[in-house]
Copies of this chain bind each other. A is one copy, B any other.
Amino acid sequence: MSLSDLFGGDPFVPAQQARTEPIQQRSTARLSGLLDAAAVVVDEVGFDRITTAMVAERAGASIGTVYRYYPDRVAVLQALRERAVLRFRSRVAEQLKTNAPQGWWEAVDVAITAFVDLYRSEPGFRIMHFDDRQGVPVVVDPDTGYFARRVAGMLVEEFGLEGGDELIFRLEVAVEMGDSILSRAFRSDPQGDERFIEECRVVTHDYLAGYYGPSVR
């Protein structure tokens, strides 16, 4: 579901994550080490070819350790994706804090830029497009709630956009579009095809501007 987790309609689920929560210090290090390893391996061999043994070896751990924290192979990938999502979110939040955007578009643009940057720099970031194939029963996280709702709230508060379900819907669509175009940009170019990236900005802007702001183009 990729970016949808961030702004989209599906709730963000912290997931069953690990089998056992880490207690001692070294184990939290292990956990992130495992994900680091998984990220690198994903870049090397892809989602399908990745094996738990590879992850374990790359992390300097044994197979058993992997399974101590994750119930199965897919769970590792889900956790990796979750971490990527989290990192993206905090990157955006951070950017929004430092360069306070002057309008809703600058805020959206910041998100696009953050996504592109992470895609380029973060190993295994393309895990963002790891689609949850099996219909994992989705449970709403009452704390986080729909991220789209939060973003909508932010836009309403900060920039005086009209809120409501309509705005949330538009955001969902915009995210879906932006995600797909960016995805296309990186499909055959590790650095991301600038043409598509630019088009992503244009399309996203025009789509949202068409309803909620002046068409600047």
How far is it, in angstroms, between the C-alpha of A192 and the C-alpha of B103 when the chains are bound?
34
**Is A129's beta carbon under 8 Å from chain B?**
yes
How far is it, in angstroms, between the C-alpha of A202 and the C-alpha of B135 when the chains are bound?
29
The 22 sampled A-B contact pairs (Cβ below 8 Å) are A1-B187, A8-B184, A9-B187, A9-B188, A10-B187, A45-B134, A47-B133, A48-B133, A48-B134, A49-B134, A169-B195, A173-B181, A173-B184, A173-B196, A176-B181, A176-B184, A177-B180, A177-B181, A179-B180, A180-B180, A203-B207, A206-B210
**Is A52's beta carbon under 8 Å from chain B?**
no
The count of identical subunits is: 2
Q: Is the CB of B187 within 8 A of A173?
A: no
**Is A74's beta carbon under 8 Å from chain B?**
yes
Q: Is the CB of B135 within 8 A of A184?
A: no
CB distance from A198 to the nearest CB of B (A): 11
Given contacts A9-B188, A46-B135, 10 further A-B contacts (CB under 8 A): A10-B187, A10-B188, A46-B133, A48-B133, A172-B184, A173-B196, A173-B199, A176-B183, A177-B177, A177-B180
